[in-house]
């Protein structure tokens, strides 16, 4: 049914539509922005000139893509069909000048200056990479009014805070298609990220075609892997957008999938097939204690570091893999190896005694040094997770810190840089925790001190609970907030302004091809069994998935749970974004209500509360054809009671009414079906009169 959903939906106060701020939403925000009065108006005579000392295909490609995106945004059908090399007369609408043509790499200067006047736009950059960033800023400046599209006159000077602004995508737990990776790359470049770190192998899968050891992908991927032509295609696609791809092959643990085809590599006899690291007892609920127990004591598939054949194998494999991934970095994982599998193998025990390796940590160091030698052989800078860090680690190995404090003692960035190792920070940037953007934005794992060896950080998306349909929404728009943390000065801490800009950028990313919101609609319509979803969105828009590891624990406990390769992610929790735009707007509304009661804001507040109050009766009829909507109805009913109680408080603010309102709100906080409400603090504030600051940490279990 499409026809009747909009009934009466027009008695709207115009202001509600105009709330979107007219000031340009720049994200990441540049170092310096000086807005001037006046505009540069976009017309179909808009033209682009490129000036570079040498023919610069990277810059030309970017200029042409930018021209097409601008055309897509404005429908102006520019007269200039294509931007051509060495053709600038200096009189074009936009003149891009680079002093030096550069290719994507870390530690290249990335600064640029962008000047928008009334007649012309000048983009100057010392390097091609700087110009690419400037073009993205330019697109973010585009505004519209009744008479058309324009850019505000402005002078922007910009450069990044960190040289390494990465996104780590786990394509092993669930396979992520090349097409989804391309969408991710487009979004990364739009927010000035420059490193796509692919977690290419884990217990669940080995995802790259190997011609030398074909059983790696044939036996180890359930048929889900990237062919070598696809890898070439992806690397070139990223390269064109100023992004390098860093491959990770996780060893010595997290390697079950390797052994499906090559059991001789394992420290315990096979047979193996790709699958989860632990054999979980699914007869009882999985909880933190059970998981910690397994993580610390279970013997999990681990490579045998004592055999020379292991290193001969890895030597041949790396020779092949570095030919696919030209960037000079190789990530070898080295995380979460508890050594139990090694202890259980007498031959390995004997090797340790013989080589006087006092414990399995020492043996892992031995393994790492051997891989380090291979990385050197292939001119790759080695990267590893923080478990690899220690006095014996060569100082040129990059260390990626990730452990949350709850995992016990963790290594700080400072400690690592003090020893001289480069650091990449992913601690506090795990997107798979379902935390709202501001939590990552306020991440305290980044030291305030300037540390030369601190390269930067990576947003990380582990894919136990992610698939092709949900990946865009699990990554975006949140990753853009992390991108700003990596690019913009540390002094930027205004969370409300972050969200204001984040949701504007979210729209631009959608226009740019990202499906984070559309796939959410797709899943909701499926839950509704094809029925209209707008009345459902009135509730689902203010719900979020439960945070931390809560959802993972539940899913791991299922007989054939969602953590399996072939299971669908089509529950209510799967389609919800950890950042609710509606919740943000409701928070703004409550704020202004608290500032100036009884104004227009109270009317709007009451209208919104009435919608929620009536939601269950509006949703229930859909249930008769859509049993999967039950979880949503449960939350709708709780929210409805809270809204009703609040309306009563607005009518008659007695202590009794306030108390019962707070009680219903408390009930509405209850998480169920791995979903929770995102506006409980705001509802409480209507009663208490004071709005709590957004929490920056949440319980993980």
Kindly identify the residues of this chain, within the stretch 78-137, that bind its own copies according to CB under 8 A: 78-79, 81-82
> In this structure, how many other beta carbons lie within 10 angstroms of the beta carbon of residue 326?
13
Q: Which of the ranges 14-22, 84-92, 191-199, 429-437 carries the binding residues for its own copies, by CB under 8 A?
A: 14-22
Residue (74 or 360) nearer to its own copies, CB: 74
In whole angstroms, the minimum distance from the beta carbon of 281 to its own copies comes to 17
DSSP string, 290-319: HHHHHHHH-----B-TT-HHHHHHHHHHHH
Phi and psi based region of residue 379 (left: phi greater than 0; alpha: psi -120 to 50; beta: remaining): left
In the list 186, 386, 387, 585, the residue contacting its own copies (rule: CB under 8 A) is 585
Residue (77 or 353) nearer to its own copies, CB: 77
Residue (510 or 602) nearer to its own copies, CB: 510
In whole angstroms, the minimum distance from the beta carbon of 334 to its own copies comes to 31
Q: Note whether 329 and 285 are within 8 A (CB).
A: no
- Chain mean position to CA 217: 26
Is residue 345 a contact point for its own copies (CB under 8 A)? no
Q: Note whether 681 and 267 are within 8 A (CB).
A: no
In whole angstroms, the minimum distance from the beta carbon of 17 to its own copies comes to 5
Residue (122 or 324) nearer to its own copies, CB: 324
The span from the CA of 440 to the CA of 452, in Å, is 22
In whole angstroms, the minimum distance from the beta carbon of 68 to its own copies comes to 6
From residue 235, how far is each of 190, 242, 382, 505, 513 by CA, in Å? 17, 11, 19, 25, 19
Residue (318 or 481) nearer to its own copies, CB: 481
Is residue 581 a contact point for its own copies (CB under 8 A)? yes
Is residue 432 a contact point for its own copies (CB under 8 A)? no
Sites for its own copies among residues 293-332 (CB under 8 A): none
DSSP state of 253: S
Q: Which has the closest alpha carbon to 576: 500, 647, 470?
A: 470
Q: Which of 110, 204, 233, 336 is catalytic?
A: 336
Q: Note whether 123 and 94 are within 8 A (CB).
A: yes
In the list 29, 112, 149, 476, the residue contacting its own copies (rule: CB under 8 A) is 149
Q: Which of the ranges 139-147, 277-285, 321-329, 361-369 carries the binding residues for its own copies, by CB under 8 A?
A: 139-147
Is residue 283 a contact point for its own copies (CB under 8 A)? no
The span from the CA of 508 to the CA of 502, in Å, is 10
DSSP state of 327: S
Site string for its own copies, 622-651 (x = CB under 8 A): xxxxxxx-----------------------
Instruction: Please provide residue 171's backbone torsions phi and psi, each rounded to the nearest 5 degrees.
Output: -105, 10
In the list 23, 293, 347, 607, the residue contacting its own copies (rule: CB under 8 A) is 607
User: 548: Cβ–Cβ under 8 A, 6 or more apart, which residues?
Assistant: 433, 434, 435, 698, 699, 700, 701
Instruction: Return the H-helix or E-strand segment holding 37.
Output: strand 32-41
3-state secondary structure of 526: helix
Q: Which residues pair with 331 in a beta bridge?
A: 248, 383
The span from the CA of 26 to the CA of 96, in Å, is 20
Is residue 272 a contact point for its own copies (CB under 8 A)? no
The span from the CA of 627 to the CA of 647, in Å, is 30
Sites for its own copies among residues 523-562 (CB under 8 A): 525-526, 529-532, 534-535, 537-538, 541, 558-562
3-state secondary structure of 249: strand
Residue (16 or 312) nearer to its own copies, CB: 16
- Chain mean position to CA 538: 25
Is residue 292 a contact point for its own copies (CB under 8 A)? no
Is residue 271 a contact point for its own copies (CB under 8 A)? no
Q: Note whether 140 and 25 are within 8 A (CB).
A: yes
DSSP string, 66-119: HHHHHHHHH----S-----TT---S-SSEEEEEEE---S-TTS---EEEEE-SS
Residue (610 or 692) nearer to its own copies, CB: 610
Residue (367 or 612) nearer to its own copies, CB: 612
The span from the CA of 472 to the CA of 513, in Å, is 10
In whole angstroms, the minimum distance from the beta carbon of 694 to its own copies comes to 18
In whole angstroms, the minimum distance from the beta carbon of 23 to its own copies comes to 12
Place of tokens 């979803």: 533
In whole angstroms, the minimum distance from the beta carbon of 125 to its own copies comes to 25
Sites for its own copies among residues 227-256 (CB under 8 A): 227, 229-230, 233
In whole angstroms, the minimum distance from the beta carbon of 20 to its own copies comes to 6
Residue (234 or 341) nearer to its own copies, CB: 234
In the list 140, 360, 570, 601, the residue contacting its own copies (rule: CB under 8 A) is 570
Q: Which of the ranges 1-9, 318-326, 330-338, 492-500 carries the binding residues for its own copies, by CB under 8 A?
A: 1-9
Is residue 577 a contact point for its own copies (CB under 8 A)? no
In the list 210, 224, 255, 519, the residue contacting its own copies (rule: CB under 8 A) is 519
Is residue 487 a contact point for its own copies (CB under 8 A)? no
Is residue 521 a contact point for its own copies (CB under 8 A)? yes
In whole angstroms, the minimum distance from the beta carbon of 494 to its own copies comes to 21
First to last CA, the chain: 40
Half-sphere exposure of 456 (CA within 13 A, CB side): 24
- Chain mean position to CA 329: 21
Is residue 353 a contact point for its own copies (CB under 8 A)? no
Is residue 144 a contact point for its own copies (CB under 8 A)? yes
In whole angstroms, the minimum distance from the beta carbon of 144 to its own copies comes to 5
Is residue 211 a contact point for its own copies (CB under 8 A)? no
Is residue 347 a contact point for its own copies (CB under 8 A)? no
> Could you confirm whether 336 is annotated as catalytic?
yes
In the list 23, 32, 43, 68, the residue contacting its own copies (rule: CB under 8 A) is 68
Half-sphere exposure of 106 (CA within 13 A, CB side): 22
Cite the active site residues: 336
């Amino acid at each position: 049914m499409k026809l009747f959903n909009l009934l009466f939906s027009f008695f709207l106060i115009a202001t509600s539509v105009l709330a979107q701020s007219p000031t340009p939403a720049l994200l990441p925000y540049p170092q310096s922005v000086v807005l001037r009065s006046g505009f540069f108006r976009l017309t179909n005579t808009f033209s682009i000139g490129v000036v570079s000392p040498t023919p610069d295909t990277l810059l030309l490609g970017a200029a042409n893509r930018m021209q097409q995106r601008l055309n897509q945004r404005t429908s102006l059908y520019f007269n200039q069909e294509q931007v051509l090399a060495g053709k600038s007369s200096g009189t074009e609408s936009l003149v891009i000048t680079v002093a030096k043509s550069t290719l994507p790499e870390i530690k290249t200067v990335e600064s640029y200056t962008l000047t928008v006047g009334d007649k012309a736009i000048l983009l100057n950059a010392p390097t091609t990479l700087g110009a690419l960033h400037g073009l993205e800023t330019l697109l973010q400046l585009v505004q519209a009014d009744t008479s058309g599209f324009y850019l505000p006159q402005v002078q922007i000077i910009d450069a990044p805070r960190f040289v390494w602004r990465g996104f780590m995508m786990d394509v092993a737990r669930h396979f992520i298609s090349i097409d989804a990776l391309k969408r991710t790359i487009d979004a990364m470049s739009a927010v000035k990220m420059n490193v796509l770190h692919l977690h290419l192998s884990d217990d669940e899968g080995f995802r790259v075609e190997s011609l030398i050891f074909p059983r790696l992908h044939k036996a180890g991927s359930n048929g889900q892997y990237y062919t070598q032509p696809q890898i070439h295609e992806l690397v070139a696609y990223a390269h064109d957008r100023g992004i390098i791809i860093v491959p990770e092959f996780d060893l010595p643990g997290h390697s079950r999938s390797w052994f499906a085809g090559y059991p001789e590599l394992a420290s315990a006899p096979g047979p193996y097939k790709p699958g989860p690291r632990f054999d979980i007892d699914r007869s009882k609920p999985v909880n933190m204690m059970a998981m910690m127990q397994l993580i610390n004591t279970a013997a999990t598939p681990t490579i045998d570091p004592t055999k020379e054949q292991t290193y001969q194998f890895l030597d041949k494999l790396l020779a092949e893999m570095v030919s696919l991934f030209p960037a000079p970095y190789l990530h070898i994982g080295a995380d979460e190896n508890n050594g139990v599998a090694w202890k259980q193998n007498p031959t390995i025990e004997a090797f340790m005694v013989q080589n006087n390796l006092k414990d399995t940590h020492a043996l892992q160091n031995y393994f790492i040094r051997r891989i380090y030698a291979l990385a050197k052989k292939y001119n790759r800078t080695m990267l590893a997770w923080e478990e690899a860090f220690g006095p014996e680690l060569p100082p040129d190995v990059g260390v990626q810190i990730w452990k949350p404090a709850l995992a016990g003692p963790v290594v700080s960035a400072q400690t690592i840089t003090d020893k001289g190792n480069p650091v990449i920070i992913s601690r506090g940037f795990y997107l798979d925790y379902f935390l709202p953007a501001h939590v990552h934005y306020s991440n305290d794992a980044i030291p305030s001190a300037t540390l030369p060896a601190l390269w930067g950080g990576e947003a990380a998306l582990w894919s136990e609970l992610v698939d092709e349909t949900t990946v865009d929404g699990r990554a975006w728009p949140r990753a853009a907030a992390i991108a700003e943390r990596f690019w913009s000065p540390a002094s930027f801490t205004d969370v409300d302004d972050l969200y204001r800009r984040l949701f504007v950028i979210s729209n631009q990313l959608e226009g740019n091809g990202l499906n984070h919101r559309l796939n959410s609609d797709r899943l909701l319509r499926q839950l509704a069994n094809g029925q209209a979803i707008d009345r459902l969105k009135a509730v689902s828009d203010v719900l979020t998935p439960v945070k931390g590891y809560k959802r993972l624990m539940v899913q791991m406990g299922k007989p054939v749970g969602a953590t399996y390769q072939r299971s669908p992610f089509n529950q209510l929790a799967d389609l919800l974004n950890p950042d609710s735009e509606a919740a943000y707007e409701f928070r703004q509304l409550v704020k202004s209500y608290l500032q100036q009661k009884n104004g227009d804001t109270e009317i709007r507040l009451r209208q919104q509360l009435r919608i929620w109050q009536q939601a269950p009766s509006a949703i229930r009829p859909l249930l008769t054809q859509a049993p999967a909507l039950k979880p949503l109805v449960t939350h709708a009913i709780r929210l409805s009671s809270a809204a009703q109680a609040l309306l009563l408080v607005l009518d008659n603010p007695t202590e009794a009414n306030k108390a019962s309102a707070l009680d219903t709100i408390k009930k509405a906080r209850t998480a169920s079906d791995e979903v929770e409400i995102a506006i409980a603090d705001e509802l409480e504030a209507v009663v208490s009169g004071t709005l709590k600051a957004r929490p920056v940490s949440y319980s993980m279990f």
